[in-house]
């Protein structure tokens, strides 16, 4: 499922949904486009059940439907193999002798950098940032960001989604969490002046990019989800200009030109 509503659906995806015996929607790994689901339900003339974490990870009803004539479709936002949950489902299907076809849509791992005007080949290890809990608040996301920056690489930070209650982390929340992790771990490289790039609704018609010092960016209204965050590494001069023109970064917020 692409990010741009019904007009972003590939013809092959529409055909697969129309022809499949069963269609399911992944409501666990990302926020589904309601406009796309409504469009597909009208095209099929039937409701498309949303599957949460337990049903996706178990996979029983998907695999059982896939084994019947007509097969099954699982609707996933973006890249259908970006989540390990989907990889495990694919592997189990193949073990059962069920053929698997992948129909790709734009992934945030690419569109976020494109929206921000940053160079893809300078992306480092992707980081997932969970909501802190009393028993779980790892500092590893902040540590991975600093490792990428030491190598001159940009870090894409994917933000947590909580199923119950439905809650999508904003880039503002992500900045506060990272600053807290950096302070708790004694990491000098992450602070209020750290350059960040917030990308809201990457790939959609109302996508928004804002770049600047963490403390200023954390106060901006970026609109509804989905959000992600990029912590840049070493900037090429064209990337500097892109962050100023596209992301409205201030010159004093950018690192000195190499």
**Contact in structure between 175 and 217 (CB atoms under 8 Å):** yes
139-185 per-position pLDDT tens digit:
889 999 999 999 999 999 999 988 667 788 999 999 999 998 888 77
How many angstroms separate the CA atoms of 207 and 155, rounded?
19
pLDDT at 258: 65
* CATH class in words for 6-95: alpha beta
Mean pLDDT score across all residues of the chain:
91
Across the range 20-34, mean pLDDT stands at: 87
| DSSP run (H or E) holding 129 | strand 127-129
Of the listed ranges 5-9, 151-155, 190-194, 222-226, the least confidently predicted one is 5-9
**Contact in structure between 187 and 142 (CB atoms under 8 Å):** yes
What order of strands is seen across the sheet that includes strand 208-213? Answer: 127-129, 155-159, 227-231, 195-200, 208-213
38-69 per-position pLDDT tens digit:
989 998 899 999 998 899 999 999 999 999 99
Q: Which CATH superfamily is domain 108-253 in?
A: Tetrapyrrole methylase, C-terminal domain (3.30.950.10)
Burial of residue 199 (number of CB atoms within 10 Å: 0-12, 13-18, 19+): buried
The domains of the chain are located at 6-95, 108-253
Q: Which residues contact 186 (CB under 8 A, 6 or more apart)?
A: none
Within a 13 Å sphere around the CA of 22, how many CA atoms are in the beta-carbon half? 16
């Amino acid at each position: 499922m692409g990010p741009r509503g019904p007009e972003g659906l590939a013809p092959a995806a529409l055909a697969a949904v129309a022809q499949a015996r069963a269609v399911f929607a992944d409501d666990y790994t990302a926020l589904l486009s309601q406009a796309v689901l409504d469009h597909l339900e009208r095209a099929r003339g039937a409701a498309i059940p949303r599957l949460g974490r337990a049903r996706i990870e178990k996979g029983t009803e998907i695999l059982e439907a896939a084994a019947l004539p007509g097969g099954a479709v699982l609707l996933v936002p973006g890249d259908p193999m970006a989540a390990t949950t989907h990889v495990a489902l694919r592997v189990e299907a193949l073990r059962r002798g069920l053929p698997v076809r992948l129909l790709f849509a734009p992934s945030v791992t690419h569109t976020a950098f494109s929206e921000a005007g940053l160079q893809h080949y300078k992306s480092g290890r992707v980081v997932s940032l969970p909501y802190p809990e009393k028993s779980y608040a790892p500092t590893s996301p902040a540590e991975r960001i600093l490792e990428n920056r030491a190598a001159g690489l940009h870090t894409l930070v994917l933000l947590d989604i909580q199923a119950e209650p439905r809650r999508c982390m904003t880039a503002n929340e992500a900045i506060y969490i990272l600053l807290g992790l950096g302070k708790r771990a004694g990491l000098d490289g992450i602070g209020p002046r750290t350059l960040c790039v917030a990308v809201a609704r990457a790939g959609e018609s109302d996508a928004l990019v804002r770049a600047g010092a963490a403390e200023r960016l954390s106060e901006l209204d970026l609109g509804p989800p989905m959000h992600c965050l990029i912590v840049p590494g070493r900037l090429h001069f064209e990337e500097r200009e892109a962050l100023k023109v596209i992301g409205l970064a201030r010159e004093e917020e950018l690192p000195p030109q190499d």
